[in-house]
Amino acid sequence: MPMKFPSFRSRRESFPEKMWTRCPSCEEQLFNKQLERSMNVCPSCGHHFRLPAPVRLGQLLDEGTFEERDPGLVSQDPLGFVDQKPYTDRLAAAQLATGLRDAAVWGYGRIEGQRIAILVMDFGFMGGSMGAVTGEKVARAAEGALAEHVPLVIVSASGGARMQEGTLALMQLAKTMGALERLRAAGVPYVSVMSDPTTGGVFASYAVVGDVNLAEPNALIGFAGARVGAGTIGQELPPGFQRTEFLFRHGFIDRIVARPDLRRELAAVLRYLAPQRAEAGRG
Amino acid sequence: MVDRILGRGRDTAATETPPAELTVAEQKARVWSRVQLARNLRRPRTLELLGAMADEFVELHGDRLFGDDEAIVAGLATIGGHRVAVVGQQKGADTEENVRRSFGMPHPEGYRKAMRIMELADRSGLPIVTFVDVPGAHPGPESEERGIADAIARAVGLMTRLRVPIVTVITGEGGSGGALAIAVGDVVLALENAVYAVISPEGCASILWRTTDEAPTAAFAMKMTAQDQLALGVVDEVVPEPSEGAHTDHAETARRLKEVIVRELDRLAAIPVDVLVEQRYRRYRSLGAYTELAGPAPTPQIPPRGGLADRLRGLLEAGQRAMPAPLQVGRRDEPPAREDV
């Protein structure tokens, strides 16, 4: 069936391109070209800006090696959900704004020559929320990694499960964990990379259970939204609560990796895990 | 569309679609009254239900790592001649007990105790029965420090691969990940006035409507009643409650529940274990509503390029030349983390 999306000739064309971005952390005015050269990390304070999925893939993978899989998956509206806007409108708006069909992109690619299955989330698509499509892509990525016996890498950026899909979004936790358990049983390595933010049902499923967990500095990472937690419990929150360094201190993250080092560190970890496991799995 | 979601052929006619003449406001009120019933302080919890339906219950304590979380009870029981392992959440009946049981909100050690007992059941060949009634996992700092997300993820993962039958009953509040962590089953039952949701209606309302006053609206929109969950395929069977609700007659509620649990244990016992585990995997693998469009990805955000693949290729090539131009970092960045989720 031919696609009948609204025009994706995005609104961007009608606006002059922005030249400057203000760093939300140190308030420095940054020239956009300079920011891009520094991998969207503020050169003055090290603030890691959130990345659109394609940019993330560009930063991590060897040039021209990405083969996308299942680009056609699109969420439906199983609940007929309407809050202040209908869910279908929110989906259409997010598609228009990002050029993606949902909050995750997956496929195969290479990091320093090593073939991997990779899934990257995009916070710009409805807060990176996980609905049926993202859950399905994670499961297919895990099943794909298992079938080809290549390591799986997932880069998370998500506010959690997508409320507009109700418990069907919650069920994606079981769907993704089921697939990852099978990957694990087969001895295929899985590296989870957490970026800002990784919270809720995404953190409490595939993001937290990597064989190796890497995270970008000062990312918001946690289960309960800070407001939910404070409101429910009425307790003072410790400083740095739910930031990368907090999770690192409590033993849930192996390495805090600044973005310019991420590709190299990922490749290094994968070199250790992949060949040995692959042999064992094939034996 | 529901068929499309499920592919599991549930009898949707059995659900209670509110009569057409009800206004939206009336339907909302109906849903909200069910939420109130699910939260009723006198509703029977795991221990009350076991007391009425089990011939014996030997409670086991502790996660062997940190402590014993009284918001989750676990142990070994005999129900209708079946020797089983039981895991369930336990809210308190009064303030003192609620403090002891953290108002039924388990910490990581609760889920790790649950995992320990479920693994024991797996090794011993005992079927597992779980009772779910939880506002949500404990959201406080200690919970985060000790890894509530890790505990939930691993409990969910464990349940997808256990090689014994699992019967799950949503008895009251099915509160998001804190519920699912003990609710991955071969069959998922729900009491008539139970509810199940991805987030509390108050939490949903505060994010999407910016006020908790809209909680009833959020509850209605999320289709969180047992009947709606049956239609969505998340729940397999709804067990009717006596008269005004489970809180009015614990014994009768337990009797009705026991009948269904025993029937399901009998049925699942006859299924070869490999088939059982594969069916459970497929059950969760197939939940969620999406379509698959043919053809290339939508026209990309960067106008002059082609499909998504082309765009990625372009970015990858350009990346070698020190990253491409039109990425618009500022505009897409920094929405509040919980804003549009």
Question: What is the three-class DSSP state of B86?
Answer: strand
d(CA A270, CA B245): 56
Asked whether the beta carbons of residue A165 and residue B309 sit closer than 8 angstroms, the reply is: no
Share of chain A above pLDDT 70, in %: 87
Closest CA to A118 of A87, A140, A85: A140
Residue A27: how many CB atoms within 10 A of its CB?
Answer: 10
d(CA A263, CA B87): 43
Closest CA to A153 of A180, A113, A124: A180
In chain A, positions 138-197, which contact chain B (CB-CB < 8 Å)? 139, 159-163, 165-175, 177-182, 185, 196-197
Asked whether the beta carbons of residue B160 and residue A61 sit closer than 8 angstroms, the reply is: no
In chain B, positions 61-90, which contact chain A (CB-CB < 8 Å)? none
Asked whether the beta carbons of residue A74 and residue B292 sit closer than 8 angstroms, the reply is: yes
- The two tokens of residue B109 are 């050690």
Which domains occur in chain A, in start order? 20-49 (no CATH), 50-282 (3.90.226.10)
For B316-333, write each residue's pLDDT tens digit. Answer: 554 444 443 333 333 333
Q: Is A198 on the interface with B (CB under 8 A)?
A: no
- The answer, yes or no, to whether residue B10 has pLDDT greater than 50, is no
d(CA B157, CA B153): 6
The more confident residue out of B136 and B302 is B136
Closest CA to B12 of B287, B227, B192: B227
d(CA B271, CA B276): 6
ipTM: 0.90
Q: Given this model, what pLDDT does residue B326 score?
A: 39
Ramachandran bin of A76, using left for φ above 0, alpha for ψ from -120 to 50, beta for the remaining angles: beta
Chain A positions touching B300 (Cβ under 8 A) are 8, 99
Q: Given this model, what pLDDT does residue A219 score?
A: 96
- The answer, yes or no, to whether residue B311 has pLDDT greater than 80, is no
Are B88 and B130 spatial neighbours (Cβ–Cβ below 8 Å)?
A: yes
Least CB-CB distance to B298: which of A99, A222, A238? Answer: A99
- The two tokens of residue B20 are 């057409």
Q: Is A91 on the interface with B (CB under 8 A)?
A: no
pLDDT-derived band at A241 (thresholds 50, 70, 90) equals confident
Average pLDDT, chain B: 86
Q: Is the pTM of this model over 0.90?
A: no
Q: Given this model, what pLDDT does residue B191 score?
A: 98
Indicate if the alpha-carbon torsion angle B184, B74, B148, B120 is positive or negative.
Answer: negative
Mean of pLDDT values over A185-193 = 97
Mean of pLDDT values over A221-243 = 72
Mean of pLDDT values over B195-203 = 96
Question: Choosing among B66, B236, B327, which should be mutated to test the A contact, i.e. which has the most A CBs within 10 A?
Answer: B327
Distance between B223 CA and the closest CA of chain A, angstroms: 7
Mean of pLDDT values over B135-141 = 94
CATH class of this structure's domain B2-285: alpha beta
Q: Greatest CA separation found in chain A? A: 58
Distance between B270 CA and the closest CA of chain A, angstroms: 23
Least CB-CB distance to B329: which of A40, A95, A205? Answer: A40
List, as one string, the DSSP characters of chain A: ----PPP-S-GGGGSPPP-EEE-TTT--EEEHHHHHHTTTB-TTT--B----HHHHHHHHSPTT--EEE-TTEEE--TT--BSSSBHHHHHHHHHHHHS-SSSEEEEEEEETTEEEEEEEE-TTTGGG-B-HHHHHHHHHHHHHHHHHT--EEEEEEESSB-GGGHHHHHHHHHHHHHHHHHHHHTT--EEEEEEEEEEHHHIIIIITT-SEEEE-TT-BEESS-HHHHHHHH--PPPTTTTBHHHHHHTTS-SEE--HHHHHHHHHHHHHHHHHHHHHHHH-
Closest CA to B39 of B136, B123, B106: B136
Closest CA to B84 of B245, B252, B268: B268
Q: Given this model, what pLDDT does residue A240 score?
A: 83
- The amino acid occupying position A165 is E
- The amino acid occupying position A69 is R
Question: What is the three-class DSSP state of B89?
Answer: strand
In chain B, CATH 3.90.226.10 sits at 2-285
pLDDT-derived band at A12 (thresholds 50, 70, 90) equals very low
Q: Given this model, what pLDDT does residue B321 score?
A: 42
- The answer, yes or no, to whether residue A2 has pLDDT greater than 80, is no
Average pLDDT, chain A: 90
Are A170 and B180 spatial neighbours (Cβ–Cβ below 8 Å)?
A: yes
Least CB-CB distance to A181: which of B157, B295, B339? Answer: B157
Identify the residue whose tokens are 């029981």: B77
Pairs from A260-264 (Cβ < 8 Å, separation ≥ 24): A260/A38, A260/A39, A260/A41, A262/A59, A262/A60, A262/A193, A262/A214, A262/A216, A263/A59, A263/A60, A263/A111, A263/A112, A264/A112
Q: Is A13 on the interface with B (CB under 8 A)?
A: yes
